[in-house]
Amino acid sequence: MTPFEQHETALARYHSAFDSALYSAIGEFIASNLNAERDDVRVVALMTALQDACLELSGHPNQGSAVHRLAVICGQSFLSRHTLETIRRFLQRFAAEEDLRIADFEGTAGAMMIAYTGRDDLQTAAAHANGVHSW
Domain spans of the chain, in order of start? 3-129
Q: What is the pLDDT of residue 131?
A: 59
Whose CA is closest to 77, among 120, 127, 34?
A: 34
Q: Is 97 exposed, middle or buried (0-12, 13-18, 19+ CB in 10 A)?
A: exposed
CA 69/CA 32 separation, integer angstroms: 21
What mean pLDDT do residues 5-19 have?
90
**Is the pLDDT assigned to residue 128 strictly greater than 60?**
no
CA 47/CA 86 separation, integer angstroms: 13
Residue-wise pLDDT for 62-116, tens only, equals 888 899 999 999 999 989 999 999 999 999 999 977 888 998 998 889 888 888 7
Q: What is the pLDDT of residue 133?
A: 55
CA 44/CA 5 separation, integer angstroms: 29
pLDDT band at 7 (very low <50, low <70, confident <90, very high): confident
Q: What is the pLDDT of residue 113?
A: 83
Q: What is the pLDDT of residue 96?
A: 79
Residue-wise pLDDT for 17-71, tens only, equals 999 999 999 999 999 999 999 999 999 999 999 999 999 999 988 888 899 999 9
